[in-house]
Amino acid sequence: MNVDRFYPIIALAFLAAGTLWLERVTRAPEIVQQADRTHPDFIGDNVRVARFDTDGRLAYELDADRITHYPASDITDLERPHLRYHSERGETSAMAARGETGPDGEVVDLRGEVVVLRKSHDGDDLIIESETLSVWPDAQKASTDSPVVLKNGNITAYGDGMRADNLAGTLDLVGAARVLMPSSRRTRP
């Protein structure tokens, strides 16, 4: 039997074994660990964070009864957060039972009894209610895929979700939407 014929097979076996070993050594861990929320590095009560625009005017404020920051995940939990925007058109505020901001602080996720109130100078206030709402404070945008109730005067609208842009002045209901408007003298047959 000629042993030279087995050298390519032996070389291929070593190459295959080396490839399997290299793949296992460089593979990312398959177990995704949950963010560590057991050891906070900062807890604050009755906290207010203010953000100013480039002209030095107050853009928005974020108040919370308590904030807790977890360094391992860089997540901040908020208890009773209250976010307020100030503009020439009036004040818009968003309140919830709880909230959370991620590592970059770009988005505030509100949950539990979320209420948004947009007060205008002409008294035409808008109230939005939902169970969840994601808010991008710097961009002044918000969205939710939770059911939404909007109230404006005696008009009430319902939607499966919502997308809003405070700077553009747009608010879109997502999914099945319905609006209840009382009849007026103009709309009666």
% residues pLDDT > 90 (the chain): 28
Closest-CA residue to 81 (of 70, 68, 61, 65)? 65
**Structure pTM?**
0.71
Instruction: Specify the pLDDT at position 160.
Output: 92
User: What's the confidence (pLDDT) of residue 94?
Assistant: 92
pLDDT above 50 for 168: yes
| Alpha carbon distance 145, 114 (integer Å) | 13
Q: What is the per-residue pLDDT for 65?
A: 94
> Looking at residue 54, what is its pLDDT?
83
pLDDT of residue 31: 45
Q: What is the pLDDT of residues 132-159, one digit of tens each?
A: 999 988 888 899 999 999 998 888 999 9
Residue 23, pLDDT score = 67
Neighbouring residues of 178: CB distance < 8 A, sequence distance ≥ 6: 157, 158
pLDDT in tens, 4-41: 666 666 666 666 666 666 666 666 554 444 555 667 88
Instruction: Give residue 1's pLDDT.
Output: 55
What pLDDT band is residue 183 in, cutting at 50, 70 and 90? Answer: confident
Angstrom distance (rounded) from CA 141 to CA 162: 11
